Amino acid sequence: MNDLTGVRILLGTSGSVAVYKAAEWARELVKEEAIVTTLMTAAAQQFVTPLTFAALTGNSVYSNMFSIDPDGVMAHINLSRENDVLLVAPATAQTISRLATGSAEDLLSAVVLAAKIPVVICPAMNTNMYTHPATQENLHKLIGFGYRIVKPDSGSLACGETGEGRLAGWDTVRELLLSLLTPQDLLGQKIVITAGPTQEPIDPARYITNRSSGKMGYALARVAQRRGAEVTLITGPVHLPPPPGITCVHILSAEDMENAVMDVADKATVIIKAAAVADYRPAEIHQQKMKKYKEHFSLELDKNNDILAELGKRKKDEQVLVGFAAESQNHDQEGRRKLREKNLDLIAVNDILGKTTGFDVDTNQVLLIDREDSTSLPLMSKENTASHILNKIVDLLNRKGMLATL
Ligand code: PMT
């Protein structure tokens, strides 16, 4: 089961070359088992035929304002009733202008006017058209109506110009759709999440690091944001794209991470340390590349500060502090020791020897230990693991009375 399984999406397309991207989105949505119904303006059909959307979605494509559904209800009323979200993509300047005036002169504008479901508008057009005060004023009106606008990207446009106006990326839109469909139980929470490895330099060519890919921390950041939290992600060097809409602070060494975390820790209501911070760093950083003359070579290391333990010392009563423990043995015992010694509210212990848990895989299996009890979660995706950890954090915030006061 996917996050979008069974979600009914009404995809309204208008006349821009970016309709072909909407066709790709339809395909992505169907892959995630969403039920997609398409609605096309006459101009949209100049770029891509209804047959393309029908084939990709396995569903009817609507364009006729005066069609009657089998139950005798006009299409524009039924379409807005029968879906969970209305996604207008691409939305041209013309369509945006129609929607801003409350016009109902074609099926798309009539459906938007009749809609009581969340409406998401994704503009795509020439940059001068997009930045024109008329379009900007219209978009402000649409925000006032409660519609969600996904700002277009900047870059080279099909018209040959460069600037704002490119249809936003699918990842951004997908995250917004998911947040509209997810209960906002972390609204008002400021959550700091660390992710990925650190790099401890030896010389200009070499460093000490570990196998963390950042997947666990990034999944927590995405899911927390979806549930309404304001997330700051402090991340070591990883190969993952920055999650859309999340403030990312990029660091390299454990010392960089410590500085970045301490800068934001005081304002955070929740801190989750999923990063794999190096315990030691080279005592000396060589300015020149070290040569391989010696047969045996040893590196002297100094201990890094334990950031989590320091956060535990400074923790305010109303803050929730969550650690991870990467263990290869004695999981329960080690988890309890770290929970106690670092003054944590919750710790997620994961096994780093398993092929499907811990470092650099898409799944995890964690033992969650708090001050009162422990739960062993089954093997699941890192996103689902993140949801369970965040459920536990909601419980802890409730216990501290921190959700009621928001
Ligand atoms: O990134 P992925 O590939 O998805 O892998 C996920 C993960 C295995 C890295 C993650 O789930 C995980 O277990 N993160 C913690 C790794 C770790 O450093 O565990 P630890 O048991 O060594 O440290 C315990 C806690 O202290 C951790 O929360 C760690 O962030 C923190 N710590 C450790 C050392 C240090 N100097 N400062 C710290 O704050």
| pLDDT tens sequence across 313-335 | 999 999 999 999 999 999 999 99
Cβ 274 under 6 angstroms from ligand 1: yes
Residue 94 lies in a domain: yes
CB 252 within 8 A of CB 237: yes
Q: What is the pLDDT of residue 78?
A: 82
Higher pLDDT, 222 or 3: 222
* Spatial distance between the Cα atoms of 99 and 111, rounded to a whole number of angstroms: 10
Q: Are residues 172 and 241 in the same domain?
A: no
CB atoms within 10 A of CB 91: 31
Scan for tokens 């700091």, then name that residue: 192
Pick the last residue of a domain from 139, 158, 180.
Answer: 180
CATH of the domain at 35: 3.40.50.1950
Q: Whose CA is nearest to atom 27 of ligand 1?
A: 324
Higher pLDDT, 71 or 131: 131
**Ligand 1 midpoint to CA 318 (Å):** 23
* Spatial distance between the Cα atoms of 58 and 325, rounded to a whole number of angstroms: 46
Average pLDDT over residues 204-219: 98
Instruction: Please say if the pLDDT value at position 404 is more than 80.
Output: no
Q: What is the pLDDT of residue 311?
A: 98
Q: Are residues 220 and 369 in the same domain?
A: yes
Residue-wise pLDDT for 143-166, tens only, equals 999 999 999 999 888 888 889 999
Q: What is the pLDDT of residue 1?
A: 75
Q: Are residues 138 and 252 in the same domain?
A: no
Helix residue spans in 32-90 (DSSP H): 44-47, 50-57, 75-81
Residue 404 lies in a domain: no
Q: Are residues 140 and 255 in the same domain?
A: no
Residue whose C-alpha is closest to residue 132's, from 156, 100, 109:
100
Q: Are residues 252 and 338 in the same domain?
A: yes
* Spatial distance between the Cα atoms of 296 and 316, rounded to a whole number of angstroms: 48
Count of alpha carbons within 13 angstroms of residue 259, beta-carbon side: 7
Which atom in ligand 1 lies closest to the alpha carbon of residue 196?
Answer: 1
* Domain count within the chain: 2
Q: Are residues 170 and 307 in the same domain?
A: no
Pick the last residue of a domain from 111, 146, 180.
Answer: 180
Residue 355 lies in a domain: yes
Cβ 338 under 6 angstroms from ligand 1: yes
Beta strands in 29-144 (DSSP E): 35-40, 61-62, 85-91, 119-123
CATH of the domain at 233: 3.40.50.10300
Residue 406 lies in a domain: no
Q: What is the pLDDT of residue 159?
A: 82
Q: Are residues 261 and 148 in the same domain?
A: no
Q: What is the pLDDT of residue 406?
A: 46
Query: What are the residue numbers of the active site?
Result: 159
To test ligand 1's pocket by mutation, which of 308, 321, 351 has the most ligand atoms within 8 angstroms of CB?
308
Residue-wise pLDDT for 262-297, tens only, equals 999 999 999 999 999 999 999 999 999 999 888 999
Q: Whose CA is nearest to atom 26 of ligand 1?
A: 308
Residue whose C-alpha is closest to residue 369's, from 398, 399, 337, 401:
337
Cβ 152 under 6 angstroms from ligand 1: no
Residue 255 lies in a domain: yes
* Spatial distance between the Cα atoms of 194 and 234, rounded to a whole number of angstroms: 5
* Spatial distance between the Cα atoms of 257 and 35, rounded to a whole number of angstroms: 43
Average pLDDT, the chain: 95
Q: Are residues 51 and 137 in the same domain?
A: yes
Q: Are residues 302 and 334 in the same domain?
A: yes
Q: Are residues 110 and 203 in the same domain?
A: no
Residue 2 lies in a domain: no
Pick the last residue of a domain from 124, 151, 180.
Answer: 180
Residue-wise pLDDT for 70-126, tens only, equals 666 677 678 888 999 999 999 999 999 999 999 999 999 999 999 999 999 999 999
Residue-wise pLDDT for 59-80, tens only, equals 999 998 877 666 666 776 788 8
Q: Are residues 226 and 293 in the same domain?
A: yes
Residue 72 lies in a domain: yes
Cβ 325 under 6 angstroms from ligand 1: yes
CB 318 within 8 A of CB 397: no
> Is residue 377 classed as helix, strand or coil in its secondary structure?
coil
Residue 405 lies in a domain: no
Residue-wise pLDDT for 4-63, tens only, equals 999 999 999 999 999 999 999 999 999 999 999 999 999 999 999 999 999 999 999 999
Residue-wise pLDDT for 350-383, tens only, equals 999 999 999 999 999 999 999 999 999 999 999 9
Q: Whose CA is nearest to atom 31 of ligand 1?
A: 308
First-last CA distance in the chain? 32
Q: pLDDT band for 402, please (50, 70, 90 cuts).
A: confident
Q: What is the domain extent for residue 40? A: 8-180
Q: What is the pLDDT of residue 70?
A: 67
Q: Are residues 230 and 372 in the same domain?
A: yes
To test ligand 1's pocket by mutation, which of 235, 251, 324 has the most ligand atoms within 8 angstroms of CB?
324
